[in-house]
Amino acid sequence: MGRRRKAPQRLGGFTLLVVTCEHASNAVPRGASVLLKGAGSLLSTHRGWDRGAPPLARAMARRFNAPLFTGAATRLLIDLNRSLERGRAFSEFTRGLDPLARALLADRHWTPHRDAVTEEIGREVDAGGRVLHIGVHSFTPVLRGVRRNADVGLLYDPRRALEKSLCAAWLAALATAAPGLRCRKNYPYLGTSDGFTTTLRKRFPPDHYAGIELEVNQRLLRGGDTLDAALTRNLLGSLAQALRDEAQEVQGGPRPGR
């Protein structure tokens, strides 16, 4: 491992923030329409993509001058946030393809995204840096008839101290910035479930990599599939505050309000 990099002030104790949005598009690539025959009505739903997540991911990348990696095809073709093991990355439209066809889909869409993100993080870790990776997602307000009872969720691994501490600080800052917002830890999914961050945790040590998934309820979306500007500011501003608080904690000072 190379010489440890100095953490930029805006990132607290982290030397690099990497933003990803795996479900950023519901596009059907040229030549893939035959594979998704009958999926037309699903493409505009949460099955096809994460509405509202792309503009939030772009805003986060701009705010923190972070590299951004986004998916370019609908998750109904192949899900960049799921593993290839036991066909988890494939939908009902592509799961039944022969192994060669599935491998070709992975080579064209899944592997390039995963490799690019892994290489970006790996370079920083090899140089002695500490990486914060935030995967930006959104979730449908109602799933299988059950209404989700949160507006924002942060998914993380409670066994990894960096992730646990930052999420606690982020939620505390968000509660101050937007007290009416319903926020939960590891909801509507568990941060240890199958996902890209779960895979990356196996590759990078806990003191050099923190992987967090930000989940926002699609009920908060406004026209044009974007979040209210004030909510976006609160989400990003509270993250900035959490990073400052974490840096102060590392330096030995008390956090505000603690």
Contact 127, 10 (CB under 8 A): no
Residue 5 lies in a domain: no
Confidence of residue 167 (pLDDT cuts 50, 70, 90): very high
The answer to whether residue 237 sits within a structural domain is: yes
Residue with the larger pLDDT of the pair 156 and 143: 156
Cα–Cα dist 175/154, whole Å: 13
Residue 7 banded pLDDT, cuts 50, 70, 90: confident
d(CA 1, CA 130): 12
Q: What does the alpha-carbon distance between residue 65 and residue 112 come to, in Å, rounded to a whole number?
A: 22
74-78, 186-190, 226-230, 239-243: segment of lowest average pLDDT: 226-230
Whether pTM exceeds 0.75: yes
Structural domain includes residue 67: yes
pLDDT value of residue 253: 44
pLDDT at position 151, please?
Answer: 97
In a domain, 197, yes or no: yes
Q: Mean pLDDT, the chain, as a whole number? A: 93
DSSP letters along the chain, please?
A: --PPPPPPGGGTT-SEEEEEETT------TT-TTTTTT-GGGTTSTTT--TTHHHHHHHHHHHHT--EEE--S-TTT--TTS-SGGGTT--TTTTTS-HHHHHHHIIIIIHHHHHHHHHHHHHHHHTT--EEEEEEEEE-SEETTEE---SEEEE--TTSHHHHHHHHHHHHHHHHH-TTS-EEES-SS-TTSSSHHHHHHHHS-TTTEEEEEEEEEGGGEETTTEE-HHHHHHHHHHHHHHHHHHHHHHTTPPPTT-
CA distances, 212 to each of 12, 28, 43, 100, 228 (Å): 16, 28, 26, 33, 22
Q: What's the CATH code of the domain at 82?
A: 3.40.630.40
Q: Is residue 8 part of a domain?
A: no
The answer to whether residue 246 scores a pLDDT higher than 80 is: yes
Judged against a pLDDT cut of 50, whether residue 224 lies above it is answered with yes
pLDDT at site 251 = 53
- For residue 1, what pLDDT is reported? 53
* Segment 95-126, tens digit of pLDDT: 999 999 999 999 999 999 999 999 999 999 99
- Residue 83 forms part of a structural domain: yes
Residue 41 has pLDDT above 80, yes or no: yes
Q: Please report the pLDDT score of residue 257 as a whole number.
A: 46
pLDDT(150) > 90? yes
In a domain, 232, yes or no: yes
- The whole-number pLDDT of residue 2 equals 57
Average pLDDT over residues 33-41: 94
Give the number of domains in the chain: 1
Percent of the chain at pLDDT exceeding 70: 95
* 93 in a structural domain: yes
Residue 215 has pLDDT above 50, yes or no: yes
Range of the domain at 243: 13-250
